Amino acid sequence: MSRIILALAAVTMLSACGIRGDLDRPDPLWNSEDAIRRECQRQLENNETQDPRCAQFQSGAGN
């Protein structure tokens, strides 16, 4: 009985753990360049920190 309670307590403690910070969003499977452009534009309009992938579009290298 005490092993079950101990196991449940351990599982409960582990479930409370989370990943801190932002998770990197993977690139889309198709139309990735268009999606990155839209995301960069949205970030620019909302004054959010820019994704490193946005640099290629701001410098004109992606045109």
Instruction: Output the pLDDT for position 57.
Output: 75
Instruction: Output the pLDDT for position 46.
Output: 92
Do the beta carbons of residue 51 and residue 58 sit within 8 Å?
Answer: no
Instruction: Output the pLDDT for position 29.
Output: 76
Which DSSP helix (H) or strand (E) runs through 58?
helix 55-58
Q: What angle do CA 45, 49, 51 make, to 5 degrees?
A: 100
Q: What is the pLDDT of residues 4-61, one digit of tens each?
A: 998 988 888 777 676 666 667 776 777 788 888 888 899 999 998 888 888 887 665 5
- Whether the full predicted model's pTM is greater than 0.85, yes or no, is no
d(CA 33, CA 39): 10
Instruction: Output the pLDDT for position 55.
Output: 84
